[in-house]
Amino acid sequence: MSPRPLKDRLLLVAFLVVLVVFGSLVARKYWLSRPGETVPEPVSVVEAPRELREIMLYFGAPDGAGLMVEAREIEDCLTEEECLLATVQALVNGPIGDLLPIFPSHTVVRQVAVEGTVATVDFSRDLIRGHPGGSQSELLTAYGLANTLAVNFPHIRQALILVEGETVVTLKGHVDLREPVAADFSFGRQYEQEGKSLEPPLEVPAQEYEQLPRED
């Protein structure tokens, strides 16, 4: 019995496969060479750069006797919450000139919430651990925060400081932070005009402070 028919069928199948492959290549070449026809390229979406937003930040004067303003530009934000967080974070990051920082640089801004005219700012415990203490330093922190928020967000007039979500009595035993601190722009103006610092208006009584638990 001759194996010829089987061999012929195999040759036919091989021929058809080659013909299909060759036809595909020719068709592809013809499609690409057609005038006016181009292979579409993937569209890349490029996010437009955000505009810059100018803010005013209150830092300590070079001699630490009062507050002075430093202008700063940050990326514009889409919501008030984003703007509040970015502004307070810029304040925590510290000045870029000769002024003095009023927050420990490693302090984390956990949240900023606004109710009425009061902005409640929640910080990490690093605020207390890294703060130098003293009446003047604590005043600079309290009023620097309140003034920064009020000047950039006019509907905010007071700032309440929280640490890890809890109200704090004081940072290091001097300025009472149990109630919101109202913005007071005379703190900076008096320094600029007279070269004087303000007397601390908010003090925790010494006897009461001695009974407070100490921070680690």
Alpha-carbon torsion (87, 163, 108, 201), positive or negative: positive
b/e per residue 100-125 (b: at least 16 CB within 10 A):
bbbbbeebebeebebeeebbbbbbbe
Centre a 10 Å sphere on the Cβ of residue 182 and count the other Cβ atoms it contains: 16
Across the chain, what does the average pLDDT equal? 80
pLDDT at 10: 64
pLDDT at 77: 86
Centre a 10 Å sphere on the Cβ of residue 65 and count the other Cβ atoms it contains: 17
Averaged pLDDT, 120-143:
95
- Residue 41 located in a structural domain: no
Averaged pLDDT, 67-96:
93
pLDDT at 185: 86
Averaged pLDDT, 171-197:
75
Cross-strand pairs, 105? none
Q: Is the pLDDT of residue 179 over 90?
A: yes
Q: Distance between the two ends of the chain, CA-based, in angstroms?
A: 100
Distance from C-alpha of 177 to C-alpha of 55, rounded to nearest angstrom: 25
pLDDT at 207: 44
Alpha-carbon torsion (50, 52, 53, 55), positive or negative: positive
Give the structural domain span for 141. 52-206
Distance from C-alpha of 36 to C-alpha of 41, rounded to nearest angstrom: 15
Tell me: the pLDDT tens digits for 22-73? 666 665 665 555 555 555 566 666 665 668 889 999 999 999 889 999 999 9
Q: Is the pLDDT of residue 190 over 60?
A: no
Tell me: the pLDDT tens digits for 91-108? 999 999 899 999 998 999
Distance from C-alpha of 86 to C-alpha of 57, rounded to nearest angstrom: 12
Task: Say which range, 48-57, 66-75, 108-117, 131-140, has the weakest mean pLDDT.
Answer: 48-57
* Phi, psi of 19, rounded to the nearest 5 degrees: -65, -40
- Residue 178 located in a structural domain: yes
Averaged pLDDT, 187-196:
51
- Residue 66 located in a structural domain: yes
- Residue 80 located in a structural domain: yes
Distance from C-alpha of 70 to C-alpha of 130, rounded to nearest angstrom: 23
Distance from C-alpha of 185 to C-alpha of 188, rounded to nearest angstrom: 6
> Which residues, in sequence order, are CB contacts of 186 under 8 Å at separation 6+?
198
Q: Total structural domains in the chain?
A: 1
- Residue 83 located in a structural domain: yes
Assign 78 to helix, strand or coil.
coil
- Residue 138 located in a structural domain: yes
- Residue 9 located in a structural domain: no
Rg (Cα) of the chain, in Å, rounded?
34
Tell me: the pLDDT tens digits for 197-209? 444 444 444 444 4
pLDDT at 49: 64
- Residue 198 located in a structural domain: yes
CA–centroid distance for 80 within its chain: 12
Model pTM?
A: 0.68
